[in-house]
Amino acid sequence: MSTTTAVIDLDLPGATISRHVYGHFAEHLGRCIYGGFWVGEDSDVPHVRGIRSDVVEALRAIAIPNLRWPGGCFADDYHWQDGIGPRDARPRMVNSHWGDVVEDNAFGTHEFMDLCELLGADPYVSANIGSGTVREMSEWVEYLTRADDSPMAALRRANGREEPWRVPFWGLGNEAWGCGGNLRVEQFASLARQYATYARDQGGNRLTRIAAGAADADYHWTETLMRSLGDLAADPAAPAGPFQAVSLHYYTMSGPWSDKGSATDFTTDEWYRTMARARVMDELLTRHSTVMDRHDPHRKVGLVVDEWGTWWNVEPGTNPGFLYQQNTLRDALVASVHLDAFHAHADRVVMANIAQTVNVLQAMILTDPDTGALVLTPTYHVFAMNVGHHDADALTVHLRDVPTRPVEGSADLPLVSASASVKDDTALVSLSNLDTDAARTVVLDLRGRDVVGHTARVLTASTLGAHNTPEQGDAVAPALHAGVRAHARGLEVDLPAHSYVTVALDLG
């Protein structure tokens, strides 16, 4: 096999990779909010106003750009007025989607906005269309973002917050084709237009309204939502219309929904099937973008992948409704492959939110329910290694001589995934070796600008299922990578088997 080459024109920057594709999602589900973010004001776990300090610190370290809340399916059951005012007077509710547990609404609007301020992250509020009213939603926007003495602004003040908050992202429903109301797309498109109309820009606050979008390859859903926006092509300067973005959800697993596979105990075949499914994200983005391009050639409407990541069978012995799963090196490479796809589609993908931040699905952070100990997952480390891509300009990576592997039920799997970006005088190259056994050397054929230095980091482990625990928190952790050498065409980079490598290039 000849050497794999990655040709990169450092002087041909493409679309800017929004930092918001590194966004996160926190639902009232299992131990994500309760126990994950929120421990309450009486907790022994160090906290600020009930919010775990170590979780905030870890997420600030990866420059978390936004946080989607309160769901997910939960959002279409959530009535925001139950989550304001004195905590001991808040009504309870049943979280019927996730474990059928009783929720005491201790974490509500003020707690979420406090969390976002502590994180330095933009709030993405997902509003209830499934079981809420237009008035209820409209009043939530007013409560959050209005400055004067309007009824909702006065109520906010009575609850202790003088100034309005800034809320840039507003979700219109969630999975409207399923838990969000089992709606037909034509019906939902009308509702999305209606609700969007009453999600008003108050004062200087500007909302990007995001209509609940398709699952997987449901191109008809995207097509219908886009058509509902009318003629977007006619006037390049005219605004997009009632909503400014549509979403897409796609989860990766190694088996069917009925038996998604174990997070930690998997075969080599399952590894490759997982990687093949992760790579489907690129095809989905290409095809949903093609549909959008037909209606919106000026790209006024964004594509928001507001749920993505791995979904495994829950850890044995845990509540099946809580979606708690471990996170291994395999999850890290699923993440890097998705992030490569988001970079490649930076011209259309304006935001993405991995599901979900703490203790649920492909989490950044796991916390021990008994001791409270915090663990950073391998996926967290990929996000940490990629901070240099935030708001950088995408560079096209032309890969040559990439080995492939047949995967049953999928197209052949290319075993190297890559992406790159440039910001000022630094470029960042991301390289994933999906091969379980073989190391590989990749020549970076770097054109257009001089490279005066480099720093490389590697994330790998001796086994595919390696993961971090409170006892062994650094079983999978990034290290400086010495396997980078000068080459006549740029640099030569060693990729260990099953590894993720980033190379930061100093362009002088």
Q: In the complex, which residues of this chain contact ligand AHR (CB under 6 A)?
A: 27, 71-73, 174-175, 307, 355-356, 361
Nearest distance from C-beta of residue 462 to ligand AHR, angstroms: 31
Cβ contact 359:366 at 8 Å = yes
Provide the residue type at 95 as one letter: N
Core vs surface per residue 245-261: b (16+ CB within 10 A) or e:
bbbbbbbbbbeeeeebb
C-alpha span between 31 and 367 (Å, rounded): 9
What are the start-end ranges of the H helices in 99-150?
A: 109-119, 134-145
| Contact between 20 and 391 (Cβ < 8 Å) | no
- Residue 27 CB, nearest distance to ligand AHR (Å)? 5
Phi then psi dihedrals of residue 351, to 5 deg: -160, 155
Instruction: Tell whether the torsion through CA atoms of 8, 13, 18 and 19 is positive or negative.
Output: positive
- SS3 string, 317-386, reads CCCHHHCCCCCEHHHHHHHHHHHHHHHHCCCCEEEEEEECCECCCCCCEEECCCCCCEEECHHHHHHHHC
Nearer to ligand AHR, 228 or 356 (CB): 356
Residue that is written with structure tokens 């909503």 in the block: 243
SS3 406: coil
| Spatial distance between the Cα atoms of 31 and 34, rounded to a whole number of angstroms | 5
Q: State in angstroms the smallest separation of the CB of 25 from ligand AHR.
A: 7
Both tokens assigned to 292? 């959008």
- Residue 315 is a catalytic residue: no
Q: Which residues contact 18 (CB under 8 A, 6 or more apart)?
A: 346, 349, 350, 351, 391
Please calculate the CA angle 223-307-504 and round it to the nearest 5 degrees.
110
Rounded CA gap, 11 and 446, in Å? 10
For residues 498 and 431, the answer to whether their CB atoms sit within 8 Å is: no
β pairing state of 23-25 and 66-69: parallel
**Shortest CB 50 distance to ligand AHR, Å:** 23
For residue 179, the minimal CB distance to ligand AHR (Å) is 6
Please tell me the distance from the alpha carbon of residue 355 to that of residue 72, in angstroms, as a whole number.
9
Q: Residue 95 or 460: which CB sits closer to ligand AHR? A: 95
Look up 471 and say whether it is catalytic.
no
DSSP 155-193: HHHHTT--SPPP--EEEE-S-TTTTTT---HHHHHHHHH
Handedness of CA 119, 58, 333, 260 (dihedral sign): negative
User: By beta-carbon distance, which residue lies closest to ligand AHR?
Assistant: 72
Catalytic residue selected from 175, 223, 315, 492: 175
Given the residues 103, 139, 307, 408, select the one marked as catalytic: 307
Name which of 311 and 383 has its Cβ closer to ligand AHR.
Answer: 311
Cα separation of 276 and 406, whole Å? Answer: 9
**C-alpha 426, offset from chain centre:** 24
Residues annotated catalytic, as ranges: 175, 307
